[in-house]
Structure 1
Amino acid sequence: MRGLRSLRAPPPLLPPLRGSEDESRRHVTALGLGLRNAAPARRDSRTRAARDALADRPRDARHATGARRALRADPGTARVGARNLGLHARARAGTIARITPNLSHERAANQAERDDVRAGEPTSFRQLRSELEALGCFEPAPLAPLVDAALTFAGALALFVLAARSPLWAGIPLFAIASVLHARIGWAMHDAAHGNLFGNRPIDEVLTWVFCFILGEFPSGWRHGHNAHHRAPNVRSIDRDKRERWEPDRRYRSRVWAAIDVLVLVRRNGLTLPRLLALLGVRDAFYTKDHRPDRFRGELANSLAGTAVILAIFVFLYGPWGVALYIPYSWIAGVYLNWIFAGNHYEKPAWDEPPALDFAALQIVTTSNYTGGAAIRALCGGLENHIEHHLFTSMPRRHLRRAAPVVRRYCASRGLPYMERTLTAATRSVLDFHTVGVRR
């Protein structure tokens, strides 16, 4: 069995990234000492670059602190990090040829010229965002996701009713489709929780509670786990959403067993359980209690009330069997959501601690998109453009496809891998990762 190819990166040369997009926009204006691209770094050039960054006198005092820290840092650290990341990337995916140095985002154009990048390409995160803003990619677009959520909810309810009135052979698939449709309401909850539905915090917060009521979720707990994933994807000490991936005993001798245990089942506190959507709510309940105790009672009441409504509908439609049918409904919904998102971060670099990468580079090298037509867009709810979403969580889902060509050019200008693959290939990579003896 090939063991997990992990990488313990050297300590970051800058303070650890906190938050995601908003904080990164301030962060990238300072000294962005990333991994070197071609020749090993020289102490003199590193020192001059750091002094140049200090001369820019960024407004945020933390930027100046980061620059001074980089000035005192050992230049050899960056060389070791570059070598390790290059070896790791070639072994895991073979897609990362280089990570362009980012000595100063204001001087990124000079680096682009050295790499023979076409004039006019976005070469800094600030330029990238400015170009996307000019295209209107950050304009709120609440109508489409709200209409989609309403139609999805109505369709799920209609199919649950139809399943109750159909013979068993037809009722089972109808019930399964209805469960998937009900889970798709999570896309709207995801948008509202990220604050990109209306772009108005109070309105988005109210809608987050409404959608969490429908799904039996906890807004604060969901945000805690999900934002940690966005802040540092594939960083084991931070990314809770992907923690199961690195459990050493989750290795199997066939893809079938890997699919059952990784996609259909879940590990919780030493127990192997069905991957119920309800268990995600339980996990987020503990997150809320630990990190937002002031909101725990209100969110618990909201979640329990929503679950009670679902159970009441099931009992009304299916009689005494309604309570028992909540389990397969929650299982189907949980498996669907896990399957859709499982492959976005496999076959990508991973670390024990945050690496010495700027925000944009970290998001891009750890994330991949799905390709496909309307069916994939319907399955993924627009989040098939996962790289764009990780770079800009405040961008509405509807605009992610429009942003993709610009982001692709930005990746090319920095020498970063823009990985796209089919959902089938991504699923296969997940199963291969957990299967003994599969060449990767």
Structure 2
Amino acid sequence: MPSIQALPVSRGSAYAELSREIKHAGLLDRRAGYYLGKIIVMAAMCAIGIAAFILIGSSWWQLATAAYFAVLSTQLGFLGHDAGHRQIYRSGRANYVAGVVLANVGVGFSYGWWVDKHSRHHAHPNDEDKDPDVGAGALIFTTRQARASGPVARFFYRFQAWGFFPLLLLEAINLRVASVRYLIGDRTRPRARELTMLALHAAGYLTLVFWVLSPGKALLFIAVHQGLFGLYLGCSFAPNHKGMPPLSTADAADYLRRQVLTSRNVRGHWLTDFALGGLNYQIEHHLFPSMPRANLRHAQHIVKEFCAVNRVSYLETGLVASYAQALRHLDTIGRTPAA
């Protein structure tokens, strides 16, 4: 079953030494109780949201419900992310089933597509040739991408920092389009199952929305829900790597440095942990992808101290500062002069 795993490293490496310390602290052990509680809470939130949606009826107050479902969709996405990294269960199959249910049925995008994409990101963070998250598209992230752009594209890229957050409002649509293209590109049985579950999500979602709301309100509800979902999801991932040093396979960086130097942590408290789904501990997550989310904050002091002793730059900043750094990077790249 597809899952995201760390690359193999040599036993005598600095990472192997850190890994032994982390394992000795029990931080790679599964947290069954934690995830059971998470799943129960998410199921209750879904039930409450659907009940409220039906009881409120065709009212403009449903725009507040749309915002609620945007938060819920993102939180379900975080759980699907954890399943993709085998953080929830020991069994690969159990994590796969959980991931497909959460992603395809619960949120409405392909779990298989996301695992394939996210695996490449974890293996090659900030490598413009291999990391799909820094590939040129609506945005560019490297000077090489800027100089390879045509004059019309370069004109729009000059304003990409200003367009970053507005573009995130379309991220949910992008996820769904990419999911469908991935699933219909190969007629294997797993992809057919995923496509069926994606269709069930769409049918159930649209039937409920248009059954309760008038057509105009239904369309506005969908726009608000999907727009805020994309914005929230994008804002959760944006602080992690944007503006951090690009690396390629030609750079002489071992696994530890490759993961730490390309990642940025966001400092905060329990609310930050909840809002960002644990992704604020991006360094620890990239070093130990299968570590349960609840253990990341406990691993941080070990990793931070280890990096200090081994003179590996460890970046941690506030949430607003992380966005500022990412936007400054996008602005700088967007203004790169033509070759």
Interval containing the TM-score (normalised by the shorter chain): 0.7 to 0.9
* Structure-1 residue corresponding to 2:164: 262
Aligned: 1:224 with 2:120: no
Provide TM-score, normalisation by structure 1: 0.65
In structure 2, how many angstroms separate the alpha carbons of the residues matched to 1:408 and 1:174? 40
SS where residue 357 of structure 1 aligns? coil
Residues 233-248 of structure 1: matches in 2 within 5 Å? 233-243=125-135, 244-246=139-141, 248=146
Residues 156, 182 of structure 1: 8 Å contact kept = no
Q: Distance in 1 between matches of 2:266 and 2:187?
A: 34
Q: Does 1:315 align with 2:219?
A: no
Please give the residue correspondences for 1:123-134 in structure 2 after superposition, counting only pairs within 5 Å: 124-134=14-24
Q: Partners in 1 of 2:117 and 2:186 — Cα distance?
A: 11
| Residue aligning to 1:374 | 270
Aligned partner of 1:327 among 223, 237, 242 = 223
TM-score, normalized by length of structure 2? 0.83
Percent of aligned pairs with the same amino acid: 24
Q: What SS class does the counterpart of residue 343 from structure 1 fall into?
A: helix
Alignment partner of 1:152 is 2:134: no
Q: Which amino acid is 1:128 matched to?
A: L
1:434 aligns with 2:330: yes
Match status 1:396 vs 2:292: yes
| Pairing 1:137-176 to 2, within 5 Å after superposition | 137-159=27-49, 161-162=51-52, 165=56, 170-176=61-67
Q: Which residue of 2 aligns with 1:135?
A: 25
Gap runs ≥5 in structure 1? 1-18, 30-103, 106-123, 267-273
Give structure 2 stretches of 5+ with no counterpart. 147-153
Q: Judge conservation of contact 2:86–2:95 (CA < 8 Å) in 1.
A: yes
Contact 1:277 1:331 in 2 (8 A): yes
* Structure 1 pair 420–219 and aligned structure 2 pair: CA distance change class (3 A): same
| 3-state SS of paired residue (2:133) | coil
**CA spacing shift, 1:327–1:171, aligned 2, 3 Å:** closer
Across the aligned residues of Structure 1 and Structure 2, the Cα RMSD in angstroms comes to 2.9
Q: Which has the higher helix share?
A: 2
Report which of the two structures shows the higher radius of gyration computed on alpha carbons: 1
* Bigger mean CA offset, 144-153 vs 201-210: 144-153
Range 357-366 or range 305-314, more displaced: 305-314
> C-alpha separation between the residues in 2 aligned to 1:430 and 1:160?
36
Aligned residue number for residue 238 of structure 2: 342
Equivalent pairs counted in the alignment come to 316
Aligned pair in 2 of structure 1 residues 307, 142: CA closer, same or farther (>3 Å)? Answer: farther
In 2, are the aligned partners of 1:236 and 1:353 still within 8 Å (CA)? no
Work out the CA distance in 2 between the residues paired with 1:252 and 1:157.
45
Query: 5 Å matches for 1:5-404?
Result: 21-24=5-8, 27-29=9-11, 105=13, 124-159=14-49, 161-162=51-52, 165=56, 170-212=61-103, 213-243=105-135, 244-246=139-141, 248=146, 249=154, 251-252=157-158, 258-259=161-162, 261-265=163-167, 274-290=169-185, 293-320=188-215, 321-322=217-218, 325-351=221-247, 353=249, 355-404=251-300
CA contact (8 A) 2:15 2:255 kept: no
